[in-house]
Chains A and B, each alone.
Chain A
Amino acid sequence: MPKAFTPKVVTANALLEGDVIYLAADDRWVRRLDEAEIITDEAIAQLRLLDAQARASEAVGVYLADMAPTEAGPQPTHFREEFRATGPSNYHHGKQAAG
């Protein structure tokens, strides 16, 4: 049996601000993880990634990040993505401050 596909979001850093951004279903870049599109199909994930990578004047370092789908939206499965979605732990800066 092939390994089950882990759902993904498309994420990157914004070119101008440098902060973490996610791709929403309507193709907007959004700042909050709960607004990101969760992709459950591997082929679609690859296509969304290619589309996003083509937007080089908006985003840097585009990649697919593993997520668990929940009612509250995508939830990171790895702590690195959790920190990206929240901000640093030593100051109330980054996403957590933007609320």
Chain B
Amino acid sequence: MYSYTEFDTAFVAERNRQFRQQVERRISGALTEDEFKPLRLMNGLYLQLHAYMLRVAIPYGTLNGAQMDQLALLAEKWDKGYGHFTTRQNIQYNWPELRDVPDMLDALAEVGMHAIQTSGNTIRNVTADHFAGAAADEVADPRPVAELLRQWSTDHPEFQFLPRKFKIAVTGAENDRAVIKAHDIGIQVVEHDGEIGYRVLVGGGLGRTPMIGKELAPFVPQADLLPYVEAVVSVWNLLGRRDNKYKARIKITVHEHGIDEIRERVAARFAETKAAFGGVDLELFEEIEAQFAPPAFRNAPTEAFDAAYEADPVFRAWCDSNLTAHKAGGYAIAQISLKAHGKTPGDATAEQMRVMADLARRFGHDELRITHEQNVVLPHVHKSDLPEIHKILKAHGLATANIGKISDIIACPGMDYCALATARSIPIAQEIATRFDELKIENEIGELKIKISGCINACGHHHVGHIGILGLDRAGVENYQITLGGDATETASLGERTGPGFPAEEVVPAIERIVDAYMQHREGPGESFLQTYRRIGMAPFKTALYGEDAGKRQRAA
């Protein structure tokens, strides 16, 4: 894992010192709110509906036990005993007071963490595949690239006042678990004839105008990556529209100018950036890469795991849904669901954070990951330890066996917290999860991803949910639009609207009708919801939701 250099430590300390003074000047009245707001946003501090909110960066979702313990400390000491993990692999605290925030930032700095560039028109926290360094299907660990990008983008003088925010994601595998096609830049580590390089996508994004990213370059050699990415951001920085914030993201620039023109402009700019970099980035990359060397995996028997798997149906169910194949023999990737039925998606109490930190230290080579699906991962656990790990998780409400299932819902904070929201998300997620838990058909349904956003900014990724739910304000009442057929992976697609929206109390019955239609039409348990939808289209679901006539009209169209 990457540890801060003296330079990193000094930089963060200096920023925290500056911010402490800015807070003091705001409180004394020397700074107006208009002057203070951009300064607090640069340090991750928002003002939400009921309180301030501090967004802390978890670069590429990677944490060690000490860092998770410190997040627990912040939750307990300066918040209300919990934290909320987000779809950018960050954590948000919903209740800090202004005077306490500089102390919170200092506490974070003690464990090599910060809140810099978690807001504002800058390059945001770089996200990555949450199974990085562990997945069996991986070409190479994407995190050294993500860390290189983090160092390059942090306080980059050219990119502090971009037309709009800018988000980068990196995956090291063909199976995309980092939603790279819905990012401003998506990077996929690829291998051609034994050489490692990068496939670069550009212009994806969700929000008001959702778009799937387009391929800008099929293979950028390792040595060219940073100057190439700099060329992309640089071209957009000049070309991107500053006249209209809704047209400022790079997806609109790519859409308006066309991918071919953007590619030409990037190539011209790249000639300049490549010459300017002069190879210093490669030395840095090697230093970073060395810090992400895999842990010393042990060679041990797995009989204890096999015996528990046979004997304990609860453990077996958890293994079947929460484990993923690891690249090392005898090991597994274990996901800890933060989606207990009826609870707030992505929330963990301070006590739960400490339990996870302790598990990572005892059984997981001191590594934890946060997923963009708002769960936590123990990326390297030996199978023989899993029965004990499961027992401890169960004792702390962390053993929900629902990864990838209908109750493993992404939900943004919505109008329960967010000042931008147009409707609530959390109660809808709670009700859906509770209902399908009562029906006891979750396992029968199989893989089904519901994603809920409380406004068109789409923090809840609703466009790429198999079932997407978007909360809107319709004449002063919460109303929810449903989309079907979205996909966040390498086969990415945007969901299609079913038709008119539903009032809050009708959302759960609507989801039930959609699921019933799927169960009726699927060719068998082996055909997932998304596969069925792609095979039969919208019409049967329209009929299920709005009656026979609506379905017929859809078929005729």
Contacts and interface: CB of A to CB of B under 8 A. Distances in A.
Interface in B50-86: 50-52, 80
B476 A89 contact: no
Given A79-B477, A90-B416, A91-B80, A84 B50 contact: yes
A61 B47 contact: yes
Given A83-B416, A89-B416, A90-B427, A18 B33 contact: no
Contacts of A84: 49-50
A9 interface: no
Given A88-B417, A91-B80, A19 B29 contact: no
A34 B489 CA distance: 50
B171 interface: no
B27 interface: yes
A77 interface: yes
Nearest to B95: A93
B344 interface: yes
B33 A90 contact: no
Contacts of A15: 26-27, 98
Contact of A93 (B48, B80, B426, B473): B80
Nearest to B97: A17
B51 A16 contact: no
A57 B417 CA distance: 23
A17 B51 contact: yes
A13 B29 contact: no
> Most chain-A Cβ atoms within 10 A of its Cβ — which of B27, B50, B478?
B50
Interface string A13-54: 101111110000000000000000000000000000000000
**Secondary structure class of chain A's binding surface, majority of residues:** loop
Contacts of A60: 33, 47
Nearest to B48: A18
B326 to A, nearest CB: 34
Contact of A89 (B28, B94, B95, B426): B426
Contacts of B47: 13, 18, 60-61
A80 interface: yes
Interface in B526-543: none
Contact of A79 (B32, B48, B426, B476): B476
A95 B51 CA distance: 11
Interface string A53-73: 000110011000000000000
A56 B254 CA distance: 42
Interface string B22-37: 0000111100110000
A78 B51 contact: no
A21 B81 CA distance: 24
A7 interface: no
A93 B98 CA distance: 18
Contacts of B52: 18
> Most chain-B Cβ atoms within 10 A of its Cβ — which of A18, A79, A83, A93?
A18
A83 B95 contact: no
Interface in B452-481: 473, 476-478
Contact of B99 (A16, A87, A95): A16
Interface residues of A, number: 25
A15 to B, nearest CB: 7
B27 A89 contact: no
A78 B80 CA distance: 27
A83 B49 contact: yes
Nearest to A87: B50
A10 to B, nearest CB: 16
A55 to B, nearest CB: 10
Given A15-B98, A56-B32, A80 B416 contact: no
Contacts of B50: 18-20, 84, 87-88, 93-95
Contacts of A89: 416, 424, 426-427
Nearest to A83: B415
Contact of B29 (A57, A87, A91, A93): A57
B422 to A, nearest CB: 9
B47 to A, nearest CB: 6
Nearest to A53: B33
Interface string B296-310: 000000000000000
Contacts of B99: 16
Interface in B408-422: 415-417
Given A56-B32, A80-B415, A90 B51 contact: no
A80 B414 CA distance: 11
B430 interface: yes
Nearest to A66: B476
Contacts of B33: 56, 60-61
> Most chain-A Cβ atoms within 10 A of its Cβ — which of B51, B94, B424?
B51
20 contacts: A15-B98, A16-B98, A17-B51, A17-B97, A17-B98, A18-B48, A18-B96, A56-B29, A56-B33, A57-B29, A78-B476, A79-B478, A83-B424, A84-B50, A88-B94, A89-B416, A90-B416, A91-B80, A94-B50, A95-B50
Interface of B: 26-29, 32-33, 47-52, 80, 94-99, 344, 415-417, 424, 426-427, 430, 473, 476-478
Given A13-B51, A18-B48, 16 more contacts: A13-B47, A19-B50, A57-B29, A60-B33, A77-B476, A79-B478, A83-B49, A83-B416, A88-B94, A88-B426, A89-B427, A90-B416, A90-B430, A93-B80, A93-B94, A94-B51
- Give the 9 A-B residue pairs with the shortest CB-CB distance, closest first: A88-B416, A18-B52, A18-B51, A94-B50, A57-B29, A90-B344, A90-B426, A16-B98, A89-B427
